A and B are shown apart, each in its own frame.
Chain A
Amino acid sequence: QQQVKQSPQSLIVQKGGISIINCAYENTAFDYFPWYQQFPGKGPALLIAIRPDVSEKKEGRFTISFNKSAKQFSLHIMDSQPGDSATYFCAASDGGSQGNLIFGKGTKLSVKP
C-alpha cells in the first residue's frame, strides 16, 4: 500500500520556467513533509520541509504548498535552472510510531537550456 503518491513521474521544463511536483498522502498522523533532491550517484539531500500547521514555506527558489484538508502538498521550483535537473522525492513521517520516512516514487526533472 503506497502511502505517499507522487506525480508526475517525469517533468521537462524550460530554463526560467516553474517546475511543479505534487504529492498526496493517506495517513492523517503524518506531521512532517520533506522534499529531497537526488543527483545521479549521490544520496538524497534534504531540500525543504513543512509541518501541517503552515500552508506554505519558501526557501529561495523552492516553495512547498500544503493543503491539509486535501491531504496534498507540492513543490514549486521558480526560475528553474539546468542545475536543478535531478530526481525529487517527497516524503512524510509521523516521527513517532513509524519512526521513518515514507517516500514517494520520485519525479525526474529535466530543465532544458
Chain B
Amino acid sequence: KAGVTQTPRYLIKTRGQQVTLSCSPISGHRSVSWYQQTPGQGLQFLFEYFSETQRNKGNFPGRFSGRQFSNSRSEMNVSTLELGDSALYLCASSPYSVSYEQYFGPGTRLTVT
C-alpha cells in the first residue's frame, strides 16, 4: 500500500498570505489528523477528521482550518500567515475510528517570510 502523501513538500509564503496544504491518507484509512512540528514546541495536534467530520481540534487560532472530502483526502488552510507559522505540517492517517495507530506522511515544510 502507498503511504500517506502530502503536497506540496515545500512552500514559501509571505506574511498575510494564506496557504492550503493537501494530504492523501493510506488507502482505506478514514481518520486523518494534522500536526504542527516546530523545534521549540515539538509536535502539536491541530485537528482530526473522520468521515468528513471534524472530531477534535487542538489549541490553535481560528486561522487554522481544515476539511475532509468523501474520499478521505484532507486539506488544511492557514489564513493571514504569521512568521510563527513556519513549521513542518504533518498529516497522519489511521485505519481506526479512534486515533490509536497513526501513520505519518513526510510533511509540508512551510516557511513564512
Contact = CB atoms under 8 A, between A and B. Distances in A.
Centre residue among B42, B56, B105, B106 by max chain A CB count within 10 A: B42
Task: Report whether over half of chain A's contact residues are helix, strand or loop; otherwise say mixed.
Answer: loop
A5 B42 CA distance: 12
Contact of B99 (A41, A93, A105): A93
A99 B48 contact: yes
A11 B1 CA distance: 34
Interface string B52-92: 00011010000000000000000000000000000000101
**Most A CB within 10 A of own CB, among B43, B48, B58, B107:** B43
Nearest to B34: A100
Contacts, number: 61
Interface residues of B, number: 23
Interface string B100-113: 11111111000000
Contacts of A43: 4, 90, 92, 104-107
Smallest CB-CB A-B distances: 7 pairs = A43-B104, A95-B98, A99-B56, A100-B45, A103-B43, A105-B42, A43-B106
Interface of B: 4, 33, 35, 42-45, 48, 55-56, 58, 90, 92, 98-107
Interface of A: 32, 34, 36, 41-46, 49, 89, 93, 95-96, 98-106
6 contacts: A95-B99, A99-B33, A99-B48, A100-B56, A101-B43, A101-B92
